[in-house]
A and B are shown apart, each in its own frame.
Chain A
């Protein structure tokens, strides 16, 4: 056994409870190794000094405070117990009465509620059943009116696009984009905005607004016609994505041209090549 191994056994040797279990090998090493003896002796001395440290006794205040606290808790427990004991018979009485009183009280409350309701409540409106054909027709007419109104709003925005600031034109395009079934006039104006509006944001929004209608020939044709004139790479990218998503095979020559144009933006050319692969 070397010094390191022997020193690992020191905690066992230093503890009275486990010293007897220490390996004889460790004791033998310790008996013959001056270095380990010094180490062991120093630790042993430290423990001896620690053990002989005077034991402090607390002041009488600790005992006084403890018993005061104990008495207080006992009183509290007694009063809690008394309160509990005083309350104990009550549940029995309550349980007895509950069998008689609860149904009577419930019936009284029900009767009172019924009478009050019959006297003071307004006459209930006759709810139209959802399956009533007349109501369904009325609802359909209302929906059509609301849709028409929305289209008119968008249309009026678009109509005045040249006079209005870009903010308003953008709002007009956004309003149109929210319409579920825009008419042909609205689509024409969206295509017009895409082709002619001086603001990049408006043109981008117009592409977005046209996405749900990519299945219409006129929409695809409008986007394709605008593509060669478009100067902004952002809008060009949006248009190329649109045409690729719409699987418009007629766009292939235009895309081919863009992919070979040296002056076009790099990312636009890359997008055009990707779109050609998709088509």
Chain B
């Protein structure tokens, strides 16, 4: 079947959810300071401003880290470390910096530290660290239909090379431009684009292969 041009639908990027799980309002209050302004305030000694940044960014950051590590407690620990380092190294934040890019740069370093330690010593889960979480699936019927797909996608993501997973998640989920992704990954914009597309193809191959296996 040949599709028409209009039928070629490009999926939009995911909306960033706020703390309560609803979509963030498009028009924010005019008095609300930008991320950059808040981080500059933190750098200048107004530490409370970091609380506002935490509320804005900890959700997406945690989501990124869960997908990157595939391990919720580890993702929480890394997110905590990221905010710790933002506070510790606040004086290194530059006037012309981008907060998101800087934060994910730190997150990437923290995740690398985590993987290095995890490879060096086996990770033991303390039962006291486990918490109950609300089931975030939208509907039981929908969940039944999509659960398998999500599980397969999780496996496919986990099978990706760490670098591929990282570039795919950064470029797709975090509302970062490719220039920022390239800055985080310390490579050229072209290289970041090529790596992201290659990672997507790898994910596609793995995901479709798993789907076929599950059907057979």
Chain A residues packing against B (C-beta within 8 Å): 10-11, 13-17, 19, 27-28, 30-32, 34, 37, 40, 42-44, 46-63, 65-67, 69-70, 73-74, 77
Contact = CB atoms under 8 A, between A and B. Distances in A.
B183 interface: no
A43 B204 contact: yes
A49 B207 CA distance: 10
Contacts of A51: 11-14, 172
Q: Which of A37, A58, A60, A67: most chain B CB closer than 10 A?
A: A58
Interface string B173-215: 0000100000000000000010011001101100110000000
A74 B51 CA distance: 12
A50 B10 contact: no
B118 to A, nearest CB: 19
A55 B63 contact: yes
Nearest to B72: A56
Nearest to B193: A11
A110 B40 CA distance: 53
B80 A55 contact: no
Contacts of A43: 200-201, 204
B11 A10 contact: no
Interface of B: 1-5, 8-14, 17, 21, 45, 47-48, 50-51, 54, 58-59, 62-63, 66-67, 72, 75-76, 79-80, 83-84, 87, 131, 133-134, 136-137, 146, 149-150, 153-154, 168, 172, 177, 193, 196-197, 200-201, 203-204, 207-208
Nearest to A71: B47
Contacts of A34: 1-2
Given A13-B10, A15-B10, A59-B76, 8 more contacts: A44-B9, A48-B11, A55-B17, A58-B62, A61-B131, A62-B79, A62-B80, A74-B48
B10 A44 contact: yes
B5 A31 contact: yes
Given A31-B5, A61-B76, A77 B45 contact: yes
A38 to B, nearest CB: 10
Nearest to B157: A50
15 contacts: A10-B197, A14-B10, A19-B10, A27-B8, A30-B5, A46-B208, A47-B11, A47-B200, A50-B168, A55-B17, A58-B79, A63-B58, A66-B58, A66-B80, A70-B54
B136 A47 contact: no
B136 A56 contact: yes
A53 B201 contact: no
A171 to B, nearest CB: 58
A10 B150 CA distance: 24
A49 B204 CA distance: 10
B5 A16 contact: no
B47 A70 contact: yes
Q: Which of B67, B87, B177: most chain A CB closer than 10 A?
A: B87
Contact of B150 (A40, A53, A73): A53
Nearest to B175: A17
A14 to B, nearest CB: 6
A37 B76 CA distance: 40
B62 A62 contact: yes
B21 to A, nearest CB: 7
B63 A56 contact: yes
B50 A31 contact: no
A81 to B, nearest CB: 9
Given A43-B201, A44-B11, A47-B172, A53 B47 contact: no
A11 B197 CA distance: 6
